[in-house]
Amino acid sequence: MRLTEDEIYRSSTQYRLWSYTADALQSLRSSTNASAAQRVKAAVKRQREARRESAYNSDAEKRVNGTDSGAVTPAITDKEVECLTVEEEQKIVNAFCGQAIALGQFLEFPINVVATGVQYLKRFYLFNSPMTYEPKVIMPSAMFLATKTEIFHMTAENFASRLPNTTAEQVLAPEYLITQALRFTFDVRHPFRGLNGGHMEMAAMANGKAAVLPSANKTPANLQQAMLKLPLEPNGSSSSMNVRAVEKRLGEATAKASKTLKTAALLTDVYFLYTPSQIWLAAYLLADEVLTLFYISSKFEDEADPSTPSGISKSKVIATVRACAAMLASHTSMAHATEDEIKALEKKEAEEVKAIQRKLHYCRDPDKMDLVKLNKAQKRDAGTDGKLEESKAKRRKLEREKNEKEADEFWGPELPKENVTGK
Amino acid sequence: MALSPLDSPKPVPNAAKTITAKAKALTLSNNAASSPSTHASTPSSDGPQDLSEQLNDQVRRKYVQGGRLGEGTYAIVYSGHLVSDPSTLVAIKKIKVNAEYKDGLAMDAVREVKHLQELSHPNIIKLHAVFSTRDQNLNLVLEHLPLGDLETLWRNKDVSYGPADIKAWAGMLARAVWFCHENFVLHRDIKGNNLLIAADGSVKLADFGLARSFADPYTKMSCNVITRFYRPPELLYGTRHYGGAVDVWSMGVVIAELALREFFLPSETEIEQLDRIAEVFGSPTEENWPGVSKLDNYVPAAKENLKRPQPLMYWKQRFGMLGDEGIDLIRYMCKLDPRSRATARQVLEHPYWMAAPRPTPKEKLPRNAGGARKMAEDLKRKGGEVEGEGRADKVARKLDFSALKR
Amino acid sequence: MSRTAQRNGATSKRLAEDGDICPVCKSSRYLNPNMRFLVNPECYHKMCESCVDRIFSHGPAPCPIAGCRRTLRKARFRTQTFEDIQVEREVDIRRRVAKVFNKREDDFMTLKNYNDYLEQIETITWNLINREDVEETERKMAAYAEENRKEIARNESTAIQEALSRKAREAEELELAQMKREDARQEDEVERRRKADARKGVVNTQAKSGDDAASIAREGQKVVLKKSLARRAALEKQRDSDPFSSGTENGEASSGFTFTGLKKRVAPPPEKPYDPFGGWSVQREYFVLQNHYDWDWLSQARTNVAHTTGGYDVNDYCTRALCDAFSGFGVFIEDEMAGKNVGSTPSIATAAATVVAGGKADMHMDDVF
């Protein structure tokens, strides 16, 4: 078994379970939406019937005891419930991902905790719809789960206390649903450390100390020379810079790419469609195209369409990175526009989201409204259902241990047998 | 109807029960008597199960849960097998939602599931599937490892083994740790009873309850990891930044135990553990471990009981079974200074593996009486718990008269 | 004279019948009862033990029987097993021939080949017995024996292996078990002594003697264990010793015997050298790790005491960063997932949708995990 970087990635659950082609993603979301819409309509219809019945027999009582209550039961509108479309669902989920990032910054979470939380949220809403489970409830719980899996310890109370009017129980209630929706895969591979690795290697190249791939048959020296002469703009004239200038250029590009990774990468579907290596290269491409292309080609020989010994062709890699970069650029935060234009864009989006939220208010799945109650019921049911004697047995065991402990304190522990007979 | 085994003539009792219970539990207010969507009964107006729940049931129904093998504070272990093929045995480890941990899913359950999902290697326990049951407990479907663990093997007097067997077991352990480190995962709880033996005789590293991935610079890690007998000196001195060397030390101690057939560095407290280490490897000082005096819990040894490392004779006498290369490897793995200690890769590149005697093939390795009961003991134990922590031990400490000076 | 001679002849004939007279020294068993007769396989002439000692103890000498000029050696003399000297000679010849041609049935492709082989051996033996071109056959046999020394040795060892009767093997296991019991008994005894010392040790603190009783006991136990282990290893080695040599099967052109239909004996592949990595290897495809990257964010971690003394290795971080940088560099989700996804996830989705919509769905799905 040869463990190459690609093999290590292929053994990850992110590759095996959470990578989709674009149309697979689309079809999965639409079917989730369809099934959720079905359920909402059915649930609402059932609830209306229930309300009509209760209203009906409360009228009958009133008629029987002759008093006619003033309040006429509200006209139960039979209007068909209008459900969210897939696009609207995406918008609202993205909105809450944005809120998650804001929450992460507010609570000073490290970037990998925030990023993992956002990915959990996006993965959750692949298999569930915002109509069934409200993002407002799921988002904090996903963030709390992320603090656990990324080893950033925080108790539930402490987390809940720092959120406006949420209790620990509300944070923990959806956790079970999220772990189930994540199909118990908690490991998310991020591009941040990859960006650092790339930056380190490029800095070494700039100083002429890069360790070169045997297959790429280049020497550190001519890599450095080529790097110094890189044009600023794609197909611009070659510039001549000294090492300091190139390092500054590297620094800027890395900073820009890092900002992209912290915003656009989290809010678009790149994690599902591309690999972490391609994501950070795409972000770097948006920051400094010439540098990225130079870096990628430094991994290949200088022929027309070279490929690595294991057959990965350079043009295919560059095409994929460009596609990923296009997706990243499509996110509003990346729009090349003046400050206030971006502000206007964001305001418009915020209004859209508000409209969707109002609409969502009416098409929420009545069963799943209160998750805390649902959780308790589930546990109680589990408890009552055939597990009763088990919990009784456990209670008895606990009692026995308790009075054993009391006996200890009073009489002091019984002498270990061995000493007694030893003498 | 390929999905549900309910139609099979011998409906599995608990599967049927859980289905109906689930229906009742979930559709709380919904009084429609719609049985679960999988039944071909009247088209229910709405499937009560989300997509992810159906996936979960899908997985749960693949396994039949057999008898209970054992129970501990951390988990209950059941035997089980595939519905489709009753000959493939599995162990189902049901993680208990312990009441006092108010933060929902326990940290070590999260860690174990997270890392076992990522790693797959012949010497690391295989996690076949994970599902949750109605009472929101996590169930891990793990590999069936009936032949007990390495510690019970060397304790078991009627099992006799030679240098070649030790080399075979040590080799498998070294490969498992090397694979973890190549995937940038620290196990942090390597000890005899976390190394389970499969039916084909191969040793499997289990219990990733304390595992974590390699830390980035400047991020602190917990120093209260690894069972005390196997804890390296830098953790005892409370360092917060460490690497793979901590696992290599534990591995060295485990291999030493295999050769000695008794605990190599047993102790009651962390101070005594440091003394035991000093007895064998000499007291840590600035010469043999530059910078050690700057660690938090470091206490410089007083001039008169400054211990010197044991001479080669001591090693040859106690570790004859390992041969000279084996002794050299153990000392290379248990160097006091973690920087000069071997890495997992350097362990595997050591000439010990190539020297005579050739490691015995895994089928011919001596076996424990083992059996399912034993497996439960190993699987349900929580990381960091030494088997002998019964009440009697505590008693001994209370009655310690030697402390009273005459 | 003739009557006495005749009587002597008769007596000697009669005595000779019950073999009581030594043809060399004419002493008879009647006078000295514990006289034993020896015979030499060279010329099969019988003589009494004392004559053999007398004549041959100073080295090889010609046969004393008149007319037989064979030089005999003392060592070769042995008691005669068969009454009839002819039978004795034939058996010796057959034994000698069988020693050289000891192929077995499973060395041959078919039974017929084995039978042809046996027939050839019988003709050789018959020639030797009837003294037909003995020199020719002897020479060829010697040449054949020389060439197939290893083959013959192997056949011999397998024959011994099988010949080792079940009784012998059981006796051996008995001895092994007995030895194990003895080990256990010794260990218990050592354990009891150690506990006694330990208890004695607790009572009088052993400030005085350097190493306490426990370590001496452990040494004792160690020595005991080592002895028993050595003995057991030796026994195991002897039991399944297998001078198995991968002698290749070669033709016997020069020795003139050609046996058809011999199975090709393929020697077992020489054991591969032990690979400590178990067949796994790590190859970096897209980067070569440098041992030093000067990046100020990292350089503090290299020098900061808290990091270095604890064993934190900045190079581990660099390896991980570069590995992350290129993990998935050559993985194209678009094509690799195209095939896989159609199989599982969308089918779940569509199946789920139909199920929810009330239609019965045949939700067959490949392994989700």
Phi, psi torsion values for A86, nearest 5 degrees: -60, -40
CB B207 within 8 A of CB B194: yes
Which of A128, A125, A24 minimizes the C-alpha distance to C346?
Answer: A24
Is A175 within 8 Å of A144 (Cβ atoms)?
yes
For B150-364, CATH number out of 1.10.10.10, 1.10.510.10, 1.10.287.110, 3.10.450.50 equals 1.10.510.10
Residue B66: DSSP 8-state: E
Distance, CA of B41 to CA of B64 (rounded, Å): 25
CA distance B292 to B297: 10
Beta carbon pairs, A and B, within 8 Å: 139
Residue A402 CA to residue C275 CA, distance in Å, equals: 55
**Whether A99 and A159 share a structural domain:** yes
List the domain boundaries for chain B.
Answer: 15-143, 150-364
- CATH topology for the C1-80 domain: Herpes Virus-1 (3.30.40)
The rounded distance, in Å, linking the Cα atoms of B231 and B208 is 16
Question: Could you tell me the pLDDT band of residue C346, with boundaries at 50, 70 and 90?
Answer: very low
**Burial grade of A269 (CB within 10 A; 0-12, 13-18, 19 or more):** middle
Please count the residues of chain A. Answer: 423
Instruction: Calculate helix-pair angle for A22-64, C333-343, nearest 10 degrees.
Output: 50
The answer to whether residue A18 is domain-embedded is: no
A243-262 and A192-206 helices cross at what angle (nearest 10)? 170
Residue B360 has pLDDT above 80, yes or no: yes
Same domain, A253 and A109: no
Question: Of A176, A366, A412, which is closest to B136 when you measure between CB atoms?
Answer: A176
Q: Which DSSP string corresponds to A404-421?
A: HHHHHHHH-PPPPHHHHH
The answer to the question of residue A50 being in a domain is: yes
- Residue B38 predicted with pLDDT over 50: no
Question: Taking a C-beta distance cutoff of 8 angstroms, is the pair A99, B23 a contact?
Answer: no
pLDDT of B274 = 93
- Read off the pLDDT of residues A10-31 as tens digits, 9 standing for 90 and up: 999 999 999 999 999 999 999 9
Nearest CA in chain B to A196: B216
CB contact under 8 A, A382 and B21: yes
Q: Give percent of chain B above pLDDT 90.
A: 50
Whether residue A125 sits in one domain with residue A32: yes
C316 touches B: beta carbon within 8 Å: yes
- Classified as helix, coil or strand, C174 is helix
Given this model, what pLDDT does residue A11 score?
92
Q: Does C1 touch chain B (CB under 8 A)?
A: no
Give one DSSP letter per residue of A4-28, joined into a string: -HHHHHHTSHHHHTS---HHHHHHH
* % of residues, chain A, pLDDT over 90: 39
| Residue-by-residue DSSP string for A239-269 | P---HHHHHHHHHHHHHHHHHHHHTHHHHST
CA distance A256 to A283: 8
pLDDT in tens, C99-148: 888 888 888 888 888 899 889 889 888 888 888 888 888 888 888 888 88
- Give the pLDDT score at C19: 58
DSSP A29-96: HHHHHHHHHHHHHHHHHHHHHHHHHHHHHHHHHHHHTT---SSPPPP---PPPPPPPHHHHHHHHHHH
ipTM of the complex model = 0.81
pLDDT digits (tens, 9 = 90+) for C197-224: 777 765 555 444 444 555 555 554 555 5
Q: Kindly state whether residues A60 and A166 are assigned to the same domain.
A: yes
CB within 8 Å: B123 and C278: yes
The helix (H) or strand (E) run that includes residue B195 is strand B195-197
User: Tokens 């043009």 appear where?
Assistant: A315
Environment class of B81 (CB within 10 Å of its CB; exposed 0-12, middle 13-18, buried 19+): middle
A216 falls within a domain = yes
DSSP string of C118-136?
HHHHHHHHHHHHTTSSHHH
Of the candidates C310, C323, C349, the beta carbon closest to that of B338 is on C310
Residue B103 is among the residues annotated as catalytic for this protein: no
Tokens, residue C315: 């190079």
Domain total for chain A?
Answer: 2
Crossing angle (nearest 10°) for helices B13-26 and B51-60: 160
pLDDT tens column, B136-192: 788 999 998 888 889 999 998 888 899 999 999 999 999 999 999 999 999 999 999
Please identify among residues 163-202 of chain C the ones whose CB lies closer than 8 Å to any CB of chain B: 180, 184, 187, 202
| pLDDT confidence band for A77 (50 / 70 / 90) | low
Percent above pLDDT 90 for chain C: 5
Residues 6+ apart with CB under 8 A from C194: C213, C214, C217, C218, C221
Enumerate the β-bridge partners of residue B205: B124, B195
C-alpha of B383 from chain center:
7
The rounded distance, in Å, linking the Cα atoms of C217 and C200 is: 13
Helix, strand, coil percent values for chain B (each to nearest 5)? 40, 10, 50
Residues 268-327 of C with CB under 8 A from A: 279-290, 293-295, 298, 318, 320-327
Q: CB atoms < 10 A from the CB of A107, how many?
A: 17
**Residue C79 three-state SS:** strand
pLDDT value of position C31: 80
pLDDT at C256 over 90: no
Nearest to B245 by CA among B219, B220, B261, B226: B226
Mean pLDDT on A264-271: 93
Residues 6+ apart with CB under 8 A from B395: A413, A414, A415, A416
Percentage of chain C lying above the pLDDT 70 cut: 70
Which amino acid, one-letter code, is at B390?
Answer: G
For residue B357, cis peptide bond before it (omega within 30 degrees of 0): yes
Mutation for testing the A interface, residue in B103, B124, B132, B136 having most A CBs under 10 Å = B103
- DSSP labels for C183-229? HHHHHHHHHHHHHHHHHHHHHS--SSSSS-HHHHHHHHHHHHHHHHH
Is the pLDDT at A379 greater than 80? The verdict is no
CA dihedral sign, ordered A243, A247, A250, A252: negative
Which chains contact B through at least 3 pairs of Cβ atoms less than 8 Å apart? A, C
Is-contact B318 C223, C-beta < 8 A? no
* 3-class DSSP state of A3: strand
Q: To the nearest whole angstrom, how far is the Cα of C207 from the nearest Cα of chain B?
A: 13
Query: Given pLDDT bands bounded at 50, 70 and 90, which one contains residue A415?
Result: low
C-alpha B136/C-alpha B95 separation (Å) is 10
* B152 touches A223 (CB < 8 A): no
pLDDT band of B406, cuts 50, 70, 90: very low
Judged by CB atoms within 8 Å, which residues 11-70 of C form the interface with B?
Answer: none
Pairing mode, strands C78-79 and C37-39:
antiparallel
Count of C-beta atoms within a 10 Å radius of residue B374:
21
pLDDT digits (tens, 9 = 90+) for A173-209: 888 889 999 999 999 999 999 999 999 999 998 888 8
Calculate the CA C357 to chain-centre distance: 72
Verify whether the Cβ–Cβ distance C328 to A197 is below 8 Å: no
Q: What are phi and psi of A121, to 5 degrees?
A: -65, -45
- Quick: pLDDT tens for B234-286: 999 999 999 999 999 999 999 999 999 999 999 999 999 999 999 999 999 98
B94 is known to lie in a ligand binding site:
yes
Confidence of residue B374 (pLDDT cuts 50, 70, 90): low
**Could you say which residues from 125 to 184 on chain A have a Cβ atom under 8 Å away from some Cβ of chain B?**
127-128, 132, 144-145, 148-149, 151, 153, 155-157, 168, 172, 175-177, 179-181, 183-184
Give the whole-angstrom CA distance, residue A288 versus residue A267: 21
Say if residues B166 and C229 touch (Cβ distance below 8 Å).
no
| Mean pLDDT on C34-39 | 84
pLDDT surpasses 70 at B387: no
Residue A274: domain span? 192-334
Helices A289-297 and A243-262 cross at an angle (nearest 10°) of 100
What's chain A's average pLDDT?
A: 83
Is A212 contained in some domain? Answer: yes
In a domain, A74, yes or no: no
The residue whose two tokens read 């218990």 is C188
User: Residue A84: exposed, middle, or buried by beta-carbon count in 10 A (0-12, 13-18, 19+)?
Assistant: buried
Query: Chain C contacts of A318, Cβ < 8 Å?
Result: none
* Distance separating alpha carbons of residues A205 and A202, to the nearest angstrom: 5
Determine, yes or no, domain membership for A263. Answer: yes
Q: Is B117 on the interface with A (CB under 8 A)?
A: yes
Q: Quick one: closest CA in C to A309, which residue? A: C285
Section C174-187 average pLDDT: 83
Q: Is the CB of A6 less than 8 angstroms away from the CB of C352?
A: no
- For residue B37, count other CB atoms closer than 10 A to its CB: 23
> What tokens does A178 get?
């999220």
- Give the pTM: 0.71
- What does DSSP say about strands C281-282 and A2-3: parallel, antiparallel, or unpaired? parallel
Ramachandran assignment for C17, one of left (phi > 0), alpha (psi -120 to 50 degrees), beta (any other): alpha
| CATH number of B15-143, picked from 3.30.499.10, 3.30.200.20, 3.90.79.10, 1.20.1440.230 | 3.30.200.20
Residue A320 has pLDDT above 90, yes or no: yes
- State both tokens at C43: 């010329």
Sheet containing strand C37-39, edge to edge, reads C46-48, C37-39, C78-79
Rounded Cα distance between C194 and C211, Å, is 13
- Residue for token digits 């969707």? A356
Residue C151 has pLDDT above 90, yes or no: no
Least confident of A228-237, A276-285, B327-336: A228-237
What one-letter code names the amino acid at A405?
K
Going C221 to C225 to C228 to C230, the CA torsion angle's sign is negative
**Under 8 Å between Cβ of B46 and A38:** yes
Residue of chain A minimizing CA distance to B28: A367
For position A43, which CATH number holds? 1.10.472.10
Q: How distant is the Cα of A11 from the closest Cα of chain B, in angstroms?
A: 7
CB-based contact (8 Å) between B302 and chain A? no
Nearest Cα to Cα of residue A126 among A25, A35, A40: A25
C interface mutation test: which of B3, B181, B349 has the most C CBs within 10 A?
A: B3
Give residue limits of the domains in chain C: 1-80, 150-240, 280-340
Calculate the alpha carbon distances from C111 to A345, C101, C114, C117, C118 in Å.
94, 17, 5, 10, 10
Q: Are residues A56 and A159 in the same domain?
A: yes
Q: Are residues A179 and A44 in the same domain?
A: yes
Tell me the Ramachandran region of residue A383: left when phi exceeds 0, alpha when psi lies from -120 to 50, beta otherwise.
alpha
Residue C142 confidence (pLDDT): 87
Q: Which has more confidence, A99 or C28? A: A99
Which chain B residue lies closest to A182 (C-alpha atoms)? B52
Of A181-190, B80-89, B259-268, B380-389, the one with minimum mean pLDDT is: B380-389
